Amino acid sequence: MPHLLIVEDEPTTSWALAEGLSDDGYTIDTFRTAEDAQRWLRRGTSDLVITDLRLPGISGLEFATKLARGRHAQPVILVSAYSVDDQTEALDAAGVVAVFSKPFQIDALRRSVRGALDAPATRRAPARRAA
Q: Which is nearer to Ca ion, 52 or 97 (CB)?
A: 52
Whether the CB-CB separation of 18 and 30 falls below 8 Å is answered with: yes
- Rule CB under 5 A: is residue 54 a binding residue for Ca ion? yes
Q: From residue 115, how far is each of 3, 21, 27, 50, 70 by CA, in Å?
A: 15, 13, 17, 14, 23
- Rule CB under 5 A: is residue 36 a binding residue for Ca ion? no
Candidate residues 6, 7, 52, 60; the one interacting with Ca ion per rule CB under 5 A: 52
User: Which amino acid is present at 82?
Assistant: Y
CB of 13 to Ca ion, least distance (A): 8
- Rule CB under 5 A: is residue 47 a binding residue for Ca ion? no
Q: From residue 26, how far is each of 1, 49, 106, 109, 111 by CA, in Å?
A: 6, 12, 15, 14, 13
CB of 90 to Ca ion, least distance (A): 18
- Rule CB under 5 A: is residue 14 a binding residue for Ca ion? no
Q: How far apart are CA 95 and CA 121, in angstroms?
A: 10
User: Which amino acid is present at 101?
Assistant: S
Q: Which stretch binds Ca ion (CB under 5 A): 46-54, 60-68, 71-79, 115-123?
A: 46-54
Q: Which stretch binds Ca ion (CB under 5 A): 20-28, 34-42, 47-55, 106-114?
A: 47-55
Positions that interact with Ca ion (CB under 5 A): 9, 52, 54
